[in-house]
Amino acid sequence: MLREYKALWSWCPSRSLLASIRSYQRSAGSRNPLRVATRMLAVLRHRFWSVVTGADIPLNTRLGGGLLLPHPNGVVIHPDAVIGPNCLIFQQVTIGLGRGGTPRIGGHVDIGAGARILGAVAIGDHARIGANAVVLRDVSAGKTAMGVPAVIHD
């Protein structure tokens, strides 16, 4: 979560978007009597930062801590996808539904600009997905996937 840290008044849209998602998820599981108000505030913040960033990341998406979105424009993540801790996702990435389900992405995965990860694929820890790659098969831990359709390299 330290990688997601943002000073209170600093302008960092991607981190503000992630902060609104984290705030919603905290308030959804809370027993605080003000949880409805905090949840509504988090939804409004999320809508604002979604428009500013141009990203489509639903509030109930399972995101691991330490997610980095240096350029969140055009990032689309399916609500059922699972993203592990300390991942790096660049602009125009789609992580979505395909044949059989949604992707499961391990920890410390780097996903290049314009990549598409579709279907019930598993991306192992420390894997790298090249720019504009279309991943339709599993990628083992530590491997690199590049091309259309993606070919796995060491």
CA distances (Å), origin 1, targets 16, 35, 112, 121, 148 = 13, 22, 21, 26, 33
Looking up residue 95, the CATH number of its domain turns out to be 2.160.10.10
pTM beyond cutoff 0.85: yes
Q: pLDDT (tens digit, 9 = 90+) per residue, 10-67?
A: 889 999 999 999 999 999 878 888 888 999 999 999 999 999 999 999 999 999 999 9
Q: Are 122 and 104 within 8 A, CB to CB?
A: yes
Into how many domains does the chain fold? Answer: 1
Question: Which residue range forms the structural domain that includes residue 46?
Answer: 2-153
Q: Residue 58: which residues within 8 A CB-CB, separation 6 or more?
A: 77, 78, 79
